[in-house]
Amino acid sequence: MNARIKSYFDILSNLLRINSVESEALPDAPFGKGNKEALDFVLDLLKGYGFKTKNLEGFSGWGEIGEGEKMFAVLGHTDVVPEGNPKDWTFPPYGGEIHNDILYGRGAEDDKGPLLACIFAAKELLDEGFTPKMRLRFIVGADEESGWVCLDRYFKTEEVPYLGFSPDADFPVIYCEKGIVHHTVEVPCPKKIKAISGGTRANVVPDYASATVQNCEGEEFVLEATGVSSHASRPENGENAIVKLLGQIIGTCAKKSGDCLTEKLYKAFSNCDGSELNLKLEDESGPLTINIGLVEKVGEKLIFTTDIRHPVTVPREKITEILQNALPFSKVTDIFSHPPLYVPKDHFLVKGLLEAYEEVTGVKGEPIAIGGGTYARSLPCGVAFGPIFPGDKSSIHELDECVSAANFEKCVAIYKAALKKLIF
């Protein structure tokens, strides 16, 4: 690792050591103490690099440099998803430790690492004497993983960028993002299930779930299921502990007790392609996916929370209708959604970013569609750009999230080429 990247890793390590999972709100810290610290860290870094900064009451903030009527934005976030069981990590999730030129920590790929890579790229251009042709603004959110209240606050009072990208997905460049909709699925709780819980977020494949159940003899015991966490946009890469738990309940007591509801739920949720729910849909943006991210018992009800990534040509209202019809014994409620993103492949923003990627890597690229949702969809015209390289295994939302020095250096070079081409 060269000294330049080592200095960048040292800064990123300090940011990764801040636990910025959303927590209890405090004065000037609407998403918790750690989220405020992480947001302040990035804004202080930008200020130190000569950017004018503004903190929006801890919800979000921005740093800007340059002049002109038009403003180009890079949008990233400093909050992270929960780490799961820290004992399952090879290195501490908030340790910011470097081993064999690899930096480990929650946020290394999503999104602290890529955000800083873009900031370092801009600083290098400024240090080399380049002057931006328009204003360059870094917009930093602190609630991307939990509801985007941060961006709601930003757009309430702040200027809408003319153009921009979010370094929160894949290379070479994302021209299309599926729509996202979260539902609660509420059903009567089978009498044999006395307690149940599982999952941390709708957009994370749960790696643990447990239930207290009663057998036909009236004895109570605890069932536990472990899975493999992954991002909800790629549920096939994980192993859903809630689904496994439903299977265990069926195997141990549900069939004997005549509980057909658990069997129906298990069958409905067993495939992440929605095929058991009449939701096996696809277009150029890719196939629909569904993740059962949370389950809890509230009174005499079981409430499941789903994360569905749907094709851009299918309205979310249609998804809700199909889901309700497939589960007539339940109450389905649309609780959260993001519209899809689509920018034509021949748009100059897509072409410019793709050219930057190809110049640095020497590899021919093709714009792609994804199931992930980024801040780019909040812009009149924006796309997602990096940081995961084609063929690389992503560790986003997984154990041992990390970034290698080689990939980080390549990211900085690509973002530098892109900013130089489009702004400087």
pLDDT tens for each residue of 13-51: 999 999 999 999 998 999 999 999 999 999 999 999 999
Question: Among the three residues 291, 312, 338, which one is the final residue of a domain in this structure?
Answer: 338
* Same domain, residue pair 319 and 348: no
pLDDT tens for each residue of 263-315: 999 999 999 999 999 999 999 999 999 999 999 999 999 999 999 999 999 99
Residue 257 has pLDDT above 60, yes or no: no
Residue 165 pLDDT: 98
Amino acid at 288: L
Terminal Cα distance for the chain, rounded: 28
Provide the CATH number for the domain around residue 219: 3.30.70.360
| Side-chain half-sphere CA neighbours of 3 within 13 A | 0
CA distance 99 to 155: 40
* Same domain, residue pair 276 and 318: yes
* Same domain, residue pair 192 and 143: no
* Same domain, residue pair 19 and 165: yes
Residue 138 pLDDT: 98
Residues assigned a catalytic role: 79, 144
Residue 68 has pLDDT above 70, yes or no: yes
How far are the Cα atoms of 36, 41, 290 from residue 55, in angstroms, in the given order?
10, 11, 36
Domain containing 416: what range? 3-178+341-422
* Same domain, residue pair 160 and 215: no
Residue 372 pLDDT: 85
Residue 256 pLDDT: 59
| Total number of domains constituting the chain | 2
pLDDT tens for each residue of 156-198: 999 999 999 999 999 999 999 999 999 999 999 998 999 999 9
Task: Provide, rounded to the nearest whole percent, the portion of the chain with pLDDT above 90.
Answer: 91
Provide the CATH number for the domain around residue 27: 3.40.630.10
Residue 255 pLDDT: 57
